[in-house]
């Protein structure tokens, strides 16, 4: 039996319970049907039915928010070491079920096994990392003044709404939920309607690890009903969202009436700038990895290649050869590098840019076509002869599509790189240290890597500028969002107090 067939067989067994009973909402430790009935969840691999999913609406969000509110005080006040132990057990549970999570997520999202098998383990790393921060999360400062001993501390803000996307749903859910729980917050989680499987697995693992009922609640549904209700609910004190910029703007408006704190991890049109003094073979590897891995469906993908004119022809020729060699196939095949896009709607959007590129006057140097008709497969695509004013250079395509733009000087490269509404990441390839320092200082992006692809280090801040987001995740930056600062001043003597009305 091939590894592909072995994975398919395992998956079939794992999905049997969902085919029979569907995916229900989980509120206060209980399975709950959606007040809107059910909606169908299908696989992008072959468009087949996976299972029914509870359609949560405002009523379900209200129940979940009330459960999170009821559970908040006990979870907030639980000794830090006890909460830490629970988070570590969640990490252990994720590791024990990592294969199950990866198989289900491949089938649910179309992502390739080679990436999803690692994504589940990264979720465990998130829980372990934030578990280690629990005991110090509320630590503050001692700030002496002439008349007061000033002490600061941090307290959890309260029930949190977490809205996660469909591209790497399990890992991104843990990226938000782990620090929220570590801070002492309770959570209402609305996963993307296109990828509900792994969210169900996460809440199961958490409760099996000893997480008290109501601390993590999951409500499935759509943005226009469940999502909107979550962002507007008075008991939800903050919203952590990962998704597109337009939706982030809507969430900000919806949360305004209840003065919600928002953390928005949004889209990008990220540049990778390759200068002619770079290590071109390593740069080539990184350029390809950062746009064609994860099906190109990631916010940090380097979707604009800015390549110096002196090396452009050679670099693009090598790029075309490599892109044409990328294997598109079944996501459960370990050899597959690109699987199908998430849905028919997204497939239609991505493939529409093939015609847009031609209308813009660009060249389709590789790809630009679909693969088969069983699922939502497209060939990895490269556009050349492009400039930064074309739609293919300005709009977030969010697929395995790269636009190559030439530049002459460092000043021109910086101007092109910054000429975008977005500012999530940037990648710079040069062996000139002074240039790297100068260029990164002026590059408008929340995160920049020099001579590297995106390599995450959990204590560092993650987030963007401009239309790419508000706020930072990672390390202590996460706690700054999920917690409130509190100051207490103790008089150290009998300082003069102004007397009125004497």
Catalytic residues: 265, 299
Report the distance separating Cα 479 and Cα 277, nearest Å. Answer: 41
Report the distance separating Cα 259 and Cα 241, nearest Å. Answer: 16
> Within 10 Å of residue 49's Cβ, how many Cβ atoms?
10
Q: At what angle do helices 98-109 and 113-133 cross, to 10 degrees?
A: 130
How many residues does this entry show for the chain? Answer: 502
Element (H, E) at 424: none
Contacts with 279 (C-beta within 8 Å, 6 or more apart), sequence order = 429, 431, 451
- Report residue 372 as tokens: 């088969």
Sign of the CA dihedral with 405 first, then 408, 409, and 415 last: negative
Q: Closest Cα to residue 144, out of 492, 484, 485, 486?
A: 492
- Report residue 51 as tokens: 């299972």
Query: Tokens 């999170």 belong to which residue?
Result: 68
SS3 content of the chain, % helix, strand, coil (to 5): 45, 20, 35
Cβ–Cβ < 8 Å for 199, 189: yes
Cβ–Cβ < 8 Å for 371, 359: no
Cβ–Cβ < 8 Å for 30, 356: no
Q: Closest Cα to residue 113, out of 380, 337, 376?
A: 337
């Amino acid at each position: 039996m091939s590894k592909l067939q072995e994975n398919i067989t395992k998956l079939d067994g794992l999905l049997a319970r969902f085919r029979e009973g569907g995916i229900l909402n989980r509120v206060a430790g209980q399975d709950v049907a959606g007040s809107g009935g059910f909606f169908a969840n299908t696989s992008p691999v072959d468009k087949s039915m996976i299972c029914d999913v509870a359609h949560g609406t405002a009523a379900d969000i209200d129940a979940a928010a009330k459960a999170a509110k009821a559970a908040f005080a006990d979870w907030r006040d639980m000794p830090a070491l006890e909460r830490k132990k629970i988070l570590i057990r969640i990490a252990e549970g994720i590791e024990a079920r990592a294969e199950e999570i990866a198989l289900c997520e491949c089938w649910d999202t179309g992502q390739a096994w080679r990436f999803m098998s690692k994504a589940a383990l990264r979720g465990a790393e998130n829980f372990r990392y934030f578990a280690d921060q629990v005991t110090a999360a509320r630590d503050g400062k001692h700030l002496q003044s002439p008349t007061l001993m000033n002490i600061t501390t941090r307290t959890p803000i309260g029930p949190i709404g977490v809205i996660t996307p469909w591209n790497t749903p399990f890992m991104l859910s843990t990226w938000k939920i782990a620090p929220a729980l570590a801070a002492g917050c309770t959570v209402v989680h609305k996963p993307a309607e296109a990828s509900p499987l792994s969210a169900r697995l996460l809440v199961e693992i958490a409760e099996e690890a000893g997480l008290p009922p109501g601390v993590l609640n999951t409500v499935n549904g759509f943005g226009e009903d469940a999502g909107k209700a979550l962002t507007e609910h008075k008991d939800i004190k903050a919203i952590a969202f990962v998704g597109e910029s337009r939706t982030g703007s809507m969430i900000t408006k919806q949360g305004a009436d209840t003065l919600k704190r928002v953390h928005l991890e949004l889209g990008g049109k990220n540049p990778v700038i390759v200068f002619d003094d770079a290590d071109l073979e390593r740069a080539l590897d990184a350029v390809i990895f950062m746009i064609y891995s994860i099906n190109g469906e990631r916010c940090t993908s380097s979707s604009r290649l800015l390549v110096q004119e002196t090396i452009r022809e050679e670099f693009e020729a090598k790029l075309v050869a490599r892109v044409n060699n990328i294997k598109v196939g079944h996501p459960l095949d370990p050899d597959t590098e690109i699987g199908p896009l998430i849905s028919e709607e997204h497939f239609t959007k991505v493939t529409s840019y093939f015609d847009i590129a031609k209308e813009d006057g660009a060249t389709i140097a590789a790809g630009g076509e679909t693969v088969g008709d069983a699922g939502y497969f497209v060939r990895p695509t490269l556009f050349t002869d492009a400039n930064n004013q074309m739609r293919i250079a300005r709009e977030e395509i969010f697929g395995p599509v790269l636009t190559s733009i030439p530049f002459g000087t460092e000043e021109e490269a910086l101007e092109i790189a910054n000429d975008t509404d977005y500012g999530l990441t940037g990648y710079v390839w040069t062996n000139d240290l002074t240039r790297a320092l100068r260029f990164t200082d002026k590059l408008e992006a929340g995160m920049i890597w020099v001579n590297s692809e995106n390599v995450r280090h959990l204590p560092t801040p993650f987030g963007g500028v401009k239309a790419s987001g508000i706020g930072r995740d990672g390390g202590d930056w996460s706690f700054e969002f999920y917690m409130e600062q509190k100051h207490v001043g103790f008089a150290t003597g009998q300082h003069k107090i102004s007397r009125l009305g004497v």
